[in-house]
Structure 1
Amino acid sequence: MIGSEIPVLAVLCGAEPPPDMAAVEAGAVVRYTDASGLPEALAGADALFVYDFLSTAVPKAWAAADRLRWLHIASAGVDPVLFPELRESDVVLTNSRGVFDDAIAEYVLGVVLAFAKDFARSLDLQRATTWRHRESERIAGREVLVVGTGPIGRATARLLRAAGMRVSGAGRRARTGDPDFGVVHESAELPRYLGEFDYVVALAPLTDRTKGMFDAAAFAAMKPSARFVNVGRGELVVTSELVAALRAGEIAGAALDVFETEPLPADSPLWTMPDVLVSPHMSGDFGGWRRTLVEVFTANFRRWSAGEPLQNVVDKRLGYVPSQPQGAAG
């Protein structure tokens, strides 16, 4: 905060403002705005709360940010606001790390069970009033690779291990003895070891290093019986090459919650492909998640107002909060 002045906070929220902002409104001049009004709201603002975390409006309005000190985004991923001008500025960037960890982990376990127990086909047969006995798969003992070793990846690893699965990780550095993954492989070498796994879960942050990491070479390296789950970012995947791999039988199925283009276009073959589960970017959205996001922001706003270190400070070079978060004053 700047001296003893009442700070000015711009809130990018679209048509629906965030709930439960009374505590913040008591300590700041709050300007709620949609994308079209963002340049005007940013002029003279000390902080920006990007509640509409899918919006791409911030880079276009950045020139109006003449005294901004802090930007908080209501998501774990920061790619919509991590543009060159922000990287090079002194503006502190924080995210909402921790809100969606357990919900996304539960989603991943759910789709793993859906594949193993063939729930989609059971529902189709039920609707057709067809009694067809089949055998299902066990998930205990199956090998899973979680690509992304941040908090969501760790929550996912713990839950899958509790279900009896054998979980490894993939991250920036290869290592052993990790408390949640045991072995962590180097993500830059994905095709070398993808063939060892029955399930591959994409949870990496979107950076220049990870964009398009799941391409034709990656899918060709997987087991023909493997299932691919993407709950990270749509741009981690080259969608056309995923479709080709599914059609060629290079992998057995995919559960996709995020896509390169959202909403997923109506003419995408993914909608109707067998053994593909599509959900509309909702894997982490549990009842009350919007209020929880505001609670996270409000707690950080209080720290910022008091000149205390912020939580969930993003390393703008890496594109995510480091494993040992570093506080920063606003």
Structure 2
Amino acid sequence: MRKIAVWHEFGGAIVDYLVPQLPDDEVAAYQNEEAFRIGLRDAEILIAGHFNLDAIKDAPWLRWLQWTNSGIDPLVARQELFAGLTVSNAAGIHAALMADYVMATISYFQWDIPRLQNNQRHRRWEPSYTQALQDRTLCVVGLGAVGSEIARRGTAARMKVVGVSRSRRAVAGEWRAIEELDDVLANADFLVVVLPRTAETLGLLNARRLALLPDRSVLINISRGGIVAEDPLVERLVTGKMRGAAVDVFDREPLPPDHALWSLPNVLLTPHISGNDANYARLVADLFLENYANYRRGEKMRTQVDVLGRHPS
């Protein structure tokens, strides 16, 4: 029998999904940090999102962490804790919903919803013309599970899709290497940034690169804070050098109330919700069960990652 500890806001629901599937294992969720740290001491497996990573120091039997987020930057920052541990993340479980978010925000700007709402409030009848999506170019920077699904959705809408990644990937549309990013930006109507936060991606969309975007462009940022430079982005939005932006991730979260992005009329601002699937507990449980089957066979898991950076993951 293995002990599986669960520390998550939906821990109870995750346990409810897992217990019938794992009758020979002990699966337990915890309601407070003290109980969690006590329960972790004899656990072999931990399913968790953000927690005080120092708790791992008091878990001598822990062998595997199933991280419930996609981004592993908090783990990489404390990589000394993970020597000898297997780690897997939740890459891919957010793909469908995050692609929904992107297509919704594309439609928001395509139809200029704020103007239509303003006209409705003022009972103003002002017919206008809109360019079809099939005449627009969608550039997706980052082609993991989420980026690939966004590219597929864009292709289904008959947009011209250009996917950018470090290594060559099969993509619904045209693939370009990250070294060609500058050329790609110059032709983007909609630019979606969906990259992990790493030393290589921090500041990737800096002032110089943002200046390459055409005035008609809309930036959609669902990656991590720090990848898109916020101050240059604000400057371009204020001066009309970009059409707009949908921003779901920020350098500081929660976003300070006095931040300029709150008040810009050409910004759709959301509080890091693009991956908040209402079925999150089931998705995490299903992924865990898939990875657990491999774990028991001693095989590499589909979402296994190398926190220590010894090889690409």
Once the two structures are superposed, residues 280-319 of structure 1 have per-residue CA deviations (whole angstroms, 9 ceiling, x without a partner) of 2222334423222222213323443454543311133569
**Is the Cα contact below 8 Å between 2:140 and 2:194 reproduced in 1?**
yes
Once the two structures are superposed, residues 117-141 of structure 1 have per-residue CA deviations (whole angstroms, 9 ceiling, x without a partner) of 1112212221232222222222213
TM-score when scaled to structure 2? 0.87
The one-letter code of the counterpart of 1:45 is A
2:241 — aligned with what? 250
Shift of the 150–16 alpha-carbon distance from structure 1 to 2, 3 Å rule, reads closer
Q: 1:221 aligns with which of 193, 201, 212?
A: 212
Gaps of 5+ in 2: none
2:8 — aligned with what? 13
Instruction: Decide which moves more: 272-281 or 284-293.
Output: 284-293
CA distance in 1, matches of 2:59, 2:77: 14
Q: Does 1:59 align with 2:53?
A: yes
Secondary structure, counterpart of 2:214 in structure 1: coil
1:45 — aligned with what? 43
CA distance in 1, matches of 2:181, 2:93: 28
CA distance in 1, matches of 2:44, 2:156: 45
Once the two structures are superposed, residues 101-150 of structure 1 have per-residue CA deviations (whole angstroms, 9 ceiling, x without a partner) of 12212221121111111112212221232222222222213122100011
**Is the Cα contact below 8 Å between 1:140 and 1:163 reproduced in 2?**
yes
CA distance in 2, matches of 1:166, 1:247: 28
Instruction: Decide which moves more: 73-82 or 26-35.
Output: 26-35
Shift of the 287–34 alpha-carbon distance from structure 1 to 2, 3 Å rule, reads closer
Q: Does 1:295 align with 2:290?
A: no
TM-score when scaled to structure 1? 0.83
Shift of the 178–312 alpha-carbon distance from structure 1 to 2, 3 Å rule, reads closer
Shift of the 183–306 alpha-carbon distance from structure 1 to 2, 3 Å rule, reads closer
CA deviation after TM superposition for structure 1 residue 24, in Å: 6.2
Gaps of 5+ in 1: 1-5, 323-330
**Is the Cα contact below 8 Å between 2:43 and 2:61 reproduced in 1?**
yes
Alignment of structure 1 residues 172-321 onto 2, 5 Å: 172-173=166-167, 178-186=170-178, 190-305=181-296, 307-316=298-307
CA distance in 2, matches of 1:250, 1:60: 46
Count how many residue pairs are aligned between Structure 1 and Structure 2: 310
Once the two structures are superposed, residues 174-223 of structure 1 have per-residue CA deviations (whole angstroms, 9 ceiling, x without a partner) of x5x9442322221x553354112111100111111112222212211211
CA RMSD, Structure 1 to Structure 2 (Å): 2.7
The percentage of aligned residue pairs carrying the same residue is 28
Shift of the 15–105 alpha-carbon distance from structure 1 to 2, 3 Å rule, reads closer
